[in-house]
Amino acid sequence: MDSRTILNSRGGYRFLPGIEPYSSGVIAAAGFEIVHATLMKPLPWHAGLLAVRRYLEMNGLTQHSLCGVELRCPQPHTMEGFIDFNREYRDLLNDWEIPVGDENPVARTNVSPVENPPAETVLFGVSYARPSETKMTTFVVAGGGELPTRKLDSQRIVRAGEVTPDAMREKASCVVEIMRTRLQGLGATDEQLTMIDVYTAHDLRESLAKILIPGLPAAAGVGVRWFYSRPPIVDIEFEMDMRGVQQELVLSLAD
């Protein structure tokens, strides 16, 4: 158990602190496992989370079991627009009494598809903790782009405005290091990964061969799922998230 994680006793998981809108990742507490679910049909984010809460309650859980949220937005936000959305999103979590003290325990990924983006921000998938006797370590590493700081500041974006091959390698290297740091912070290992997601509108082959696989050797065996998407903030070009789970579900939820 890593000392940097905080127990969410109501949710059945520990989390690695991040920033106000999201944590850096979550890992199941003893006696629990984290399950990942993709929505068969994405729903508007607010209605979608209400539907997820109903689903959790029908399965004997509560809103506190929610530990990961995956969103799709119409286009990358300006930094100010992203902060504004985060306030609205955090307000919902506050209303549900999800924060642990002042910390938001829920991990998140929010990206913008290049093709056929939604007309509004939608809920794409979620992760939640449930009681389990599994011995497998289950966890989710939150999405992160080439912004190597806990402060949302566009001045800190690596090689902002540059998309040359050299710049993209540097961006990918930054993101892989963020993923490795979060993985270690959760007390999980590369060998326990079952899914590695990359979100970029740029060619992935060179970064995969020169950055991702050397930095995360599991990528050679598990593979990498490439979403042709842009990260949620203008000038961020490369994002990743990861997880290690034994249950991958597809949910059909009504809003």
CA distance 148 to 146: 6
The DSSP element (H or E) to which 241 belongs, if any, is strand 239-244
Instruction: Quickly state the pLDDT bin for 2 (edges 50, 70, 90).
Output: low
Domain count, the chain: 1
The rounded percent of the chain whose pLDDT value lies above 70 is 99
- The CATH number of the domain where 207 resides is what? 3.30.1330.40
Q: Which of 150, 212, 229 shows the shortest CA–CA distance to 177?
A: 212
1 belongs to a structural domain? no
Q: Which of 113, 114, 131, 130 shows the shortest CA–CA distance to 122?
A: 113
Pairing state of beta strands 107-113 and 66-72?
parallel
Q: State residue 129's pLDDT score.
A: 98
pLDDT in tens, 112-126: 999 999 999 999 999
Instruction: Quickly state the pLDDT bin for 151 (edges 50, 70, 90).
Output: confident
Residue 23 domain boundaries = 6-251
104 belongs to a structural domain? yes
Contact 122, 42 (CB under 8 A): yes
